[in-house]
Amino acid sequence: MHIFIDFEASSLGKTGYPIEVGWAAEDGTSENHLIRPAPQWTDWDAESERIHGISRATLEAQGEPHDQVARRVLEALSGHALFASAPSWDGKWLSALFRAAGIPRHALRLKDSEIAQHETAARILTGLLPPAERMVRVSAIVARARAEGERRPVRHRAVADAEEELRRWREVKRLAEEEAAEL
């Protein structure tokens, strides 16, 4: 199953850490978790807080223990195809979360959401067009879905942003299916 994941972080600095994780799955399920910082996590950036709107005090009061969140992420997402709009950043936060909880940092791997979009559209159009033409059409479909998605504001909250990635993937799928029906 395709699952789209997103993190919010304390800062984009070298010692930044994950403060929220959310995911949205193609079966319609989603989860969101505020992460109470591990004791060694102290980096905090006021500009990052302004963007996501989550204070450190909120994390201390309402966040779940980091190790509990890490175990939930591993339990819920293992065995699924995981995608993120910024896999290098989200992978960094996932690794930090896992390392702090004593879980191997590569227990889960993330791929770029655009890979899911391209693969899905290409699969739908396979056998209907010559390969070169298929790839041109796939790129056009993905670009069209991206342009539509960029009209919506980025929320900078984990589950909302993951749900937006899921919406974009579904839009690519819908557009590819429409195109396939016309061929």
CATH number, domain with residue 23: 3.30.420.10
Number of CB atoms found within 10 A of residue 52's CB: 17
Asked which of 61, 91, 111 is the last residue of a domain, the reply is 111
pLDDT tens digits along 87-116 = 999 999 999 999 999 999 899 999 999 999
pLDDT above 90 (res 178)? yes
Residues 106 and 16 grouped into a single domain: yes
CA dihedral angle for residue 131, residue 133, residue 135, residue 136, rounded to 10 degrees: 170
Residues 98 and 119 grouped into a single domain: no
The average confidence (pLDDT) of the chain is 96
Specify the pLDDT at position 152. 80
What average pLDDT does the segment 165-172 reach?
Answer: 97
65 pLDDT band (50/70/90 cuts)? very high
Question: Which token pair is 9?
Answer: 């972080």
Residues 128 and 83 grouped into a single domain: no
pLDDT tens digits along 37-47 = 999 999 999 99
Inter-CA distances, 70 with 44, 78, 87, Å: 20, 12, 17
The SS3 call for residue 126 is strand
Dihedral sign (CA 91, 110, 20, 168)? positive
Residues 130 and 156 grouped into a single domain: yes
